Structure 1
Amino acid sequence: MIAYASRTGNVRFIATKLKAEPIEISEELMLNKPFLLITYTDGLGDIPAKVVRFLDQNAKLCKGVVASGNSNFGHTIFGGAGDKIATMYHIPLVRKLDLRGYQADYEAVQEFYETRVKG
């Protein structure tokens, strides 16, 4: 399963490119099986508040995080939500994608999903 948070539609687009069951997160969503999280980056490298609330309830089943961001903001901010989630929740950072990402990104994320989440 892929759990995702999308504000502008970029992450929703990414989730649809993968061969997995996507579900958009909400603060009250409780999952009962392993999942890959895909999220956008808020502000200047921050984790969106609804993602924090979701992870506070579901982090134990999260096998990895993919973060979308805008590389125009610079290397230290780009995809910062992914870096922070990896550190705070001890979840592997799978990949940072520039906006909607590219085919090579989808292939790498799919490979991680197949081997580490779906397994």
Structure 2
Amino acid sequence: MIAYASRTGNVRYIVQKLNLPAIEITKDTVIETPFILCTYTDGLGDVPAVVQAFMEQNATLCKGIVVSGNSNFGLDVFGLAGDKLASDYHIPLVRKIDLRGFSKDYEAILAFYNDCVKEDDYETILEVK
């Protein structure tokens, strides 16, 4: 499962390209299955409030974090929300993606998903849409 938050549409685009079971989160969303969190970076490196509230309730089942950012704001803040979440919750940072990313980003996420998250009732995903 992919749990995601998208403000500009970049994260939603990434999730759609992955072609995995997914849910767009709210602050009240509760998930009862292992998942990868896909989020954006707010401001200059902040974790979005909706994501912070979601993780406070769901972090125990989060297996990895993918973060989208914009490297034009500087590498010191690029995808910093992902770094903060990974550090705060001791969860692997799977990938930092610049805007909508590239095929190699999607392939790395799918490989992590297949190794660490895939549930028995979902088939292994080998291709990106």
CA distance, structure 2, for counterparts of residue 55 and residue 10 of structure 1: 20
State whether structure 2 residue 43 is matched by structure 1 residue 40: no
2:79 maps to amino acid:
G
CA distance, structure 1, for counterparts of residue 66 and residue 23 of structure 2: 15
1:91 maps to amino acid:
I
Aligned to 1:20: 20
More helix by share: 1
2:26 maps to amino acid:
S
CA deviation after TM superposition for structure 1 residue 22, in Å: 1.1
Aligned to 2:92: 92
Aligned to 1:82: 82
Percent identity between the aligned chains? 63
Aligned to 1:112: 112
CA deviation after TM superposition for structure 1 residue 75, in Å: 1.1
Is the 8 Å Cα contact of residues 19 and 110 (structure 1) preserved in structure 2?
no
State whether structure 2 residue 57 is matched by structure 1 residue 50: no
2:32 maps to amino acid:
N
Count of residues paired in the alignment: 119
Q: TM-score, normalised by structure 1?
A: 0.98
1:15 maps to amino acid:
V
1:2-60, Cα deviation, whole Å (9 max, x unpaired) = 00000000000000011310100011111000000000000001100110000000000
Indicate the structure (1 or 2) with the bigger Cα radius of gyration.
Answer: 2
CA distance, structure 2, for counterparts of residue 61 and residue 24 of structure 1: 16
CA distance, structure 2, for counterparts of residue 19 and residue 7 of structure 1: 19
CA deviation after TM superposition for structure 1 residue 74, in Å: 1.1
CA distance, structure 2, for counterparts of residue 6 and residue 106 of structure 1: 17
For residue 87 of structure 1, give the secondary structure of its aligned residue in structure 2: helix
Q: Which segments of structure 1 move beyond 2 Å, counting only runs of 4 or more?
A: none
State whether structure 2 residue 81 is matched by structure 1 residue 67: no
CA deviation after TM superposition for structure 1 residue 99, in Å: 0.3
Q: What's the Cα RMSD here?
A: 0.7
CA deviation after TM superposition for structure 1 residue 68, in Å: 0.1
